[in-house]
A and B are shown apart, each in its own frame.
Chain A
């Protein structure tokens, strides 16, 4: 069965420091992996995705994520955090060979950037 885990409910980072939001997944075959961000009282916004190719994926707002097949991880990173990055972050996965088009979502990680 497919699953995705975001092991941290909350991550606290000082402004200007690098940030990492963790995501691990489990699928039978190869994964499609996504990161979304949700600001308060807003819908989810797409940040980036891994489909195939380069393991380092660059996305919106200076975020990037690295696909690590051996560790089944897709951690979200940013070199220098901004207070405006404070939001709820969701990781999602889908098995490439799964005929069900449903994305499996993580529980979300609240990112708090302190000035």
Chain B
């Protein structure tokens, strides 16, 4: 158990809908990362937050947004969902996001868009 929690574990929804994925980092970690893992594209970095502020942005679609709250938990919002958004979404956390730090991953949320 990495100490990173994600809810829900599974999510089934329809195209055009909006969902929110939640992540709680390890105790003491200030930095949160979101990743998307699909079968054909491997692990894609979406976005990183550090202590409530956006720090780095990867291949995140405009339909997706995220935030980190004062208690350091983070939410990833996915809207106008498309079939191609079906994937595993992982959250990871680290102490402060410095270069050599280890990221610890949560168990993921499996999203299925029908």
Contact = CB atoms under 8 A, between A and B. Distances in A.
Interface residues of A, number: 22
Contacts of B56: 100-102
A14 interface: no
Contact of B90 (A44, A96, A98, A101): A44
Contacts of A44: 43, 90, 92, 105
Contacts of B92: 44
Interface residues of B, number: 23
Given A102-B56, A105-B45, A49 B102 contact: yes
A interface: dominant SS: loop
Interface of B: 2, 4, 31, 42-43, 45, 48, 55-56, 58, 90, 92, 97-100, 102-108
15 contacts: A32-B100, A34-B102, A36-B105, A43-B105, A43-B106, A43-B108, A46-B103, A46-B105, A96-B99, A96-B100, A101-B55, A102-B58, A103-B45, A103-B103, A105-B45
Given A42-B107, A44-B105, A102-B48, 15 more contacts: A32-B99, A36-B105, A43-B105, A43-B108, A45-B105, A46-B102, A46-B105, A49-B100, A90-B43, A101-B31, A101-B97, A101-B98, A102-B58, A103-B45, A103-B103
